[in-house]
Amino acid sequence: MKFNRTYFLLAVALFMIEVAIAAYMDDAVVRPYFGDLLVVILIYCAIKTFIDSAPVKTAIAVFIFACLIEVSQYYHLVQLLGWGRSSTATTVMGTFFSFVDILMYALGTLVIIGAETYLKNPLKI
């Protein structure tokens, strides 16, 4: 374990953006799509803040985690656990399954892999 300041600052910035999206956006694009794409990047940065792990493996693990959360929505896990009245639980876990969300998680994962690959070997123009 080693603290990485860059990933920490990225995670904090992404968290603030996610909070702003949740609190102030009620549109048909940013909140339902961009927020889902960003959340995978946020979780990735949070993990990389403390764990020096392989980028692709970490990104795929985050994608799988996000998909498991999405599948839990299909089975209404929040309600089954009795957390349906908790706004925190419903916000974090979600309540509505969507294949589009999984697509957005996949795109977020590709953004992570693309950014990490580019930063390791920037294009020479």
pLDDT number for residue 49: 98
Query: What string of H, E and C letters represents the secondary structure of the chain?
Result: CCCCHHHHHHHHHHHHHHHHHHHHCCCCCHHHHHHHHHHHHHHHHHHHHHCCCCHHHHHHHHHHHHHHHHHHHHCCHHHHCCCCCCHHHHHHHCCCCCHHHHHHHHHHHHHHHHHHHHHHCCCCC
Q: What predicted TM-score, i.e. pTM, was given to this entire model? A: 0.90
Kindly report, residue by residue over 20-75, the tens digit of the pLDDT.
Answer: 998 899 898 998 899 999 999 999 999 999 999 999 999 999 999 999 999 999 99
**61-90 residue pLDDT tens:** 999 999 999 999 999 999 889 998 888 888
